[in-house]
Amino acid sequence: MLKGIDPLLNADLLYALAAMGHGDELVIADSNFPATSVAEGSILVRLEGTDAPQAARAILSVFPLDSFVDAPLHRMEMVGDPDTVPPVQQEVHAAAREAEGGDVTMAGIERFAFYDRARQAFAVVQTGEARPYGCFVLTKGVILD
């Protein structure tokens, strides 16, 4: 155990988060996401015992979002209803706003474009999130303090 570190942040995840640089992207994915095939060539960390908002809160407790891009948080759009933001996405967006202490822009990405972008991510974190569309891309920022 580490003092002050969320216990969800296991050694593999902490390594990935620390190794990432400014502009690198991290995927948080639900349990339906094809994480193994998408993460080929990337770091894959599994957090089966948690949902997407819990994972996001833990990650965002140590992970700065990029303030130099228009949207440091992206969500997978619902097929056939891209403008709807389901509760799981609202909860992760709220976690990002809380972690950053202000507004965070969250943009949508069409499903297959999301998969393509996820293949380029530095790391993929697959959660046990059972709700569909619990998939996100976070862009790492810098610590300015």
Sign of the torsion angle spanned by Cα atoms 126, 129, 131, 135: negative
Task: Please check whether residue 42 lies inside any domain of the structure.
Answer: yes
**Domain presence at residue 144:** no
The domain total for the chain is 1
Q: What does the pLDDT read at residue 111? A: 98
Give the per-residue pLDDT at 11.
Answer: 96
Mean pLDDT estimate for the chain: 97
Residue 6: inside a domain, yes or no? Answer: no
The pair of three-digit structure tokens given for residue 77, joined into one six-digit string: 């759009």
> What pLDDT, on a 0 to 100 scale, did the predictor assign at position 145?
72
CATH number of the domain at 36, please.
3.40.1650.10
Does the active-site annotation cover 15? Answer: no
Q: Which of 6, 12, 24, 115 is catalytic?
A: 115
Q: Residue 82 pLDDT > 80, yes or no?
A: yes
pLDDT at 1 over 80: no
Q: Phi then psi for 112, rounded to 5 degrees? A: -75, -30
Whether 19 shows a pLDDT value over 90: the answer reads yes
Q: Which domain holds residue 133?
A: 11-139
Residue 133 annotated among the catalytic residues of the structure: no
122 lies in some domain: yes
Whether residue 109 lies inside any domain: the answer is yes
State the angle between helix axes of 52-60 and 87-100 in degrees (0 to 180), rounded to the nearest 10. 10
Mean pLDDT score, 86-112: 98
Res. 71: pLDDT tops 90: yes
**2, part of any domain:** no
pTM for the structure as a whole: 0.96
* Residues whose CB falls within 8 Å of the CB of residue 55, separated by 6 or more in sequence, listed in order: 8, 28, 47, 125, 127, 129
- Residue of 30, 51, 66, 133 with catalytic role: 66
Q: How far apart are CA 42 and CA 139, in angstroms?
A: 15
The verdict on whether 66 is a catalytic residue reads: yes
Q: Considering the domain boundaries, does residue 3 fall inside one?
A: no
Q: Tell me if 102 is assigned to some domain.
A: yes
Catalytic pick among 15, 22, 81, 116: 22
